[in-house]
Structure 1
Amino acid sequence: MAGQEQRRRRRIVLFPLPFQGHMNPMLQLATLLHGRGLAVTVLHTGFNAPDPTRHPAEFTFVPIHESFPAEVTSPGADIATQLLALNAACEAPFREALASLLLRGQDQDVACAVVDGQCYSALRAAHQLGVPALALRTDSAATFRSMLAYPRLRDAEERLEELVPDLEPLRARDLIRVDGSDTDALCGFIGSVADATRASASGIVINTFEGIEASELVKIQRELSRPAFAVGPLHLLSQAPAEQSLHAPDRGCLAWLDERPPRSVLYVSLGSVACVDRGVFEEMAWGLAGSGVPFLWVVRPGLVSGGGGGGGEEVPPLPDGFGKEIRSRGKIVSWAPQREVLAHAAIAAFWTHCGWNSTLESVCEGVPMLVQPCFADQLVNARYVTHGWGVGMEVGEEIERGRVAKAVTKLMVGDDAAQMRGRAYHLKMQASAATSLSIDCLVHYISSL
């Protein structure tokens, strides 16, 4: 009887975008849905494949056997071109893998597919096979709203400093962009995402919580005429193991933090994908030196682009003479266990690229931010951090050592620092109060499909 009951369990099929910032929220959501009685099958690419040993034994992991062109897998590939090529390469293999599951009968009662919202081709394929599809947005509700509005904003470059009507506090300059990327390719990608969501998604699932994005959620539901579920913060609600990382974290930095006074250290990390040129990297280093502030800095392989050291798989060399700053009051690691670092009592602030996962993790720990957005949704998130929620400040459009030192000092010990910490603590309390009610509502909705 137990075996028969297991075979009759409704199954969800998940398909994550094969990048760290997208895979972790998808698998955290899978853990929550599995805990509420749904069977889980994860379709995945061979590129950056998830590690099944890090997840419940009952999860089924199925490769789709895609063949990616170099535009997808090459380090430093143009992001818009990369995402367009990834969608084109995944559509047929995903459709075949999902169709195979559907043919297996009652032991694979597929209730719906949960597809990363950037995988518009998989959303379409699921819909064409008659499988209800939910789009998981691993970015913010505000970012998703800006993507839906993008076609009508293409001329906004002429009014960069003006607020965008109905998207406040965003200015035109805060809209999604990727410097150096082909504008038409980027617009084509965003348009495909918006069109597929409108035509093929039965609902939207967003890794956010109402305490920070209630109004954006209401507007999404009104615009799309379908439910939008705020299921975050997923890393808090899922209580899943530490995130799967493409880099091995240096846990020794936690012991180093143990030796520092409370709220004394600036944590610096630009995430797993963003990169800067050699000049910006050196200005960051000497800005940290000039600030006089203790720091923990993630200098990962590939952080520095182009010539002059770094890029590819190399850890970029530090500027000549910077070593004494590390010995006196800093620590540099190639990767850090970020959630544990942000939760550490020694951390006072976070210098971040404002990827959504990093932004949420900082909000959930009540840590103010110094923002240095590099591309895409990071621009939207940074604007909300500074002008929506008031829990951070900009490092400056020009990364210059004197300005960096001044910004760091202001964030850590300036007159505004206490107010920002107070607002950050308030958001932390709201995040802590977020419940799994939306997950329960999502499960009820899945059961009704």
Structure 2
Amino acid sequence: MAKAHVVLVPYTSQGHMTPMVQLGEALAEAGLQVTLVVTARVLAALERAESSLLQHPLLVLRSIDDGLNPDPNVAPSFADVLAGIPSLQRNLESLLLEMLAAPFPPTCVVSGTFCSWTQVVTSKVDLPRVELWSSPTYVYSVGFHHGRLVSAGMVPFKGSMEDTWITCIPGLPPVRASDFVREFMPTEEEMEADPKKCEGLLKVVKESYGGARNLYRLLVNSIYELDSNATDDLRAEGVHVLPVGPLFLQNSSKGIIERPRINALEEDQTCLQWLDGREASSVLYIAFGSEARLLKDDMQELAYGLEASGHSFLWVIRPGSVVDEQSFDCILPEGFEERTAAHGKIVSWAPQMEVLAHSAIGGFMSHCGWNSTLEALCHGVPILAWPQRADQGLNKVFIEDHWKVGIAVQKHGGKVKRAAVETAIKQLMTEERGALVRKRVKEVKDTVWKSVQEDGSSRRHLDEFIHALNSLADQKSM
């Protein structure tokens, strides 16, 4: 029986790299050969961070050049990224042809949804293309059904976002425009400032989602039981979608979650010892992911509200996470650290999975990025939702209104004020509403873990995918 060989081509941001690596580990543990292809810039960042990915026992790492500056300190502009696509296509094609001539040729290519440039390459070398969608299925539905937004007159958007409800996306419950994926719905004012914005958006949407029915498979880092309406709708539309998440649980053995460090930031392990000295469920963990950037005013309001709540906290303030502020000293209110030193700790980066697993953690103030949301759910930690961009507003709606595993920090006039922060913290950590949320999140935790056990929905879907790949490899070897 031939061994299937999967080539992974992730989108380069942290939130997309992480689940792709986790998928690769799960496939490799099932006996498949896995090659992870990254850009020269990502490889340089991994080398600088001395990432364990460089010597991963299960994954082969290869890099291709995009013609851009490989220095990880130089962030390419969007125009630069687009300009680098022809180089990526040429170099990926060369790499795949080289691999196809080797003893264990590739069986398929798995790419990120926003790596639609791989479609041309896989067609030329005659390899099936699979996508890994790293957000929930209901967010994929927004891109797939984007034409309905256009037909409904929502693109460009006119009017009040707070007072307008989006009801035209199958698989998605009615949601306020203010909670919708803003990147999919530019406003009239934004269009006037950049007349090509809508044209560019429609082009990206068509390239990213237009070929969904032609994919060999669409893998989603989500759970059917939490995301069934959108999954069923896409299947009815002819998309072969398989929810296989959470991927970090798929490659865990005997309930132990291990992962390679991908981020270039060094984790501050001292926070774990600090948590050891705290009472059970007493600490609020605050982290806004690897990419979100808050305004200084938001950080100050958060600090004042946190201080007024009086609760113990572990707060991750990532370097560069505050807009237009280079110095950490300028971010927080004067004297804040001194006044909260007895019950608070601030770090620049934390080992999030270990933090969420710690018995002292009683809540997680989060930007509602999907990776963070899944990690909170698998540990049964309730969420204080403060979304920033992309899919995070929709995730907040599901977290608070549908799964009922968290509480949103309320905005007034589009801004979060310190009183709202204080109120939300107290609700989650000490009041009756928080108790109901904590009970519910434990139930969802059970659902999440059952999905990856033998005969669980996510496990079945992943096994189905692996079986299909092995069958493909057998056919090609005949």
Shared fold (TM-score, shorter chain, > 0.5): yes
CA distances 1:236-285 after superposition (whole Å, capped 9, x unpaired): 12124354222111111111111111111111001000001111111111
Aligned partner (choices 223, 227, 231) of residue 240 of structure 2: 227
2:10 equivalent in structure 1? 16
Distance 2:116 2:73 in 1: 19
**Matched position secondary structure for 1:295:** strand
Query: CA separation of 1:396/1:258 partners in 2, compared to 1, >3 Å: closer, same or farther?
Result: same
Indicate the residue corresponding to 1:360 in structure 2. 374
2:165 corresponding residue in structure 1: 162
- Which amino acid is the alignment partner of residue 251 of structure 2? S
Per the alignment, residue 360 of structure 2 pairs with: 346
Sequence identity of aligned pairs in percent? 30
1:14-413 map, 5 Å: 14-49=8-43, 50=46, 51=51, 53=53, 56-68=56-68, 74-75=74-75, 84=82, 87=85, 90-104=88-102, 107-154=103-150, 155-156=153-154, 157-158=157-158, 160=161, 161-165=164-168, 166=170, 167-178=172-183, 183-184=197-198, 185-199=200-214, 201-223=215-237, 225-239=238-252, 240-306=258-324, 308-310=325-327, 317-397=331-411, 398-413=415-430
1:309 shift after superposition:
3.8
CA pair 73-407 structure 1, distance change in 2 beyond 3 A: same
Which deviates further from its counterpart, 412-421 or 232-241?
232-241
Q: Please, what TM-score do these two structures have when normalized by structure 1? A: 0.89
Aligned CA distance change for structure 1 residues 279 and 74 (closer, same or farther; 3 Å): farther
Contact map agreement 1:250 1:334 (CA 8 A) in 2: yes
Tell me if the contact between 1:301 and 1:315 (Cα under 8 Å) persists in the aligned partners: no
2:66–2:85 Cα contact (<8 Å) kept: no
Which letter does structure 1 place at the counterpart of 2:364? F
Structure-2 separation of matches of 1:68 and 1:133: 26
The alignment partner of 1:221 has SS state of: helix
Q: Partner residue of 2:255?
A: none
Q: Secondary structure at the match of 2:216?
A: strand
Cα distance in 1 for residues equivalent to 2:397 and 2:8: 31
Tell me, yes or no, if the aligned pair for 1:19 and 1:48 is still in contact at 8 Å. Answer: no
Letter in 2 for 1:129: V
Q: Which moved more, 1:85-94 or 1:375-384?
A: 85-94
**Aligned-residue offset at 1:81:** 5.6
Decide whether the 8 Å contact of 1:34 with 1:40 is kept in 2: yes
Contact kept? 1:205, 1:228, Cα under 8 Å: yes
Query: Mind listing any 5+ residue stretches in structure 1 that lack a counterpart?
Result: none
Quick check: 2:110–2:132 contact (8 Å CA) kept in 1? Answer: yes
Say which of 432, 435, 447 aligns to 2:449.
432
Contact 2:68/2:84 (<8 A) preserved: yes
Q: Deviations over 1:410-439 (max 9, x none)?
A: 121122111111111111001111122222
Q: Cα distance 1:243–1:434, how it changes in 2: closer, same or farther (>3 A)?
A: farther
CA RMSD after TM alignment: 2.6
Number of aligned pairs? 433
| 1:138-173 residue CA offsets vs partner (Å, 9 max, x unmatched) | 111111111111232143234733142332143333
The structural deviation recorded for 1:85 is: 5.3
* Aligned equivalents of 1:362, 1:118: Cα separation in 2: 25
Q: Matched residues in 2 for 1:302 and 1:186: separation? A: 27
Alpha-carbon shift at residue 55 of structure 1 (Å) = 5.5
Secondary structure of the equivalent of 1:48? helix
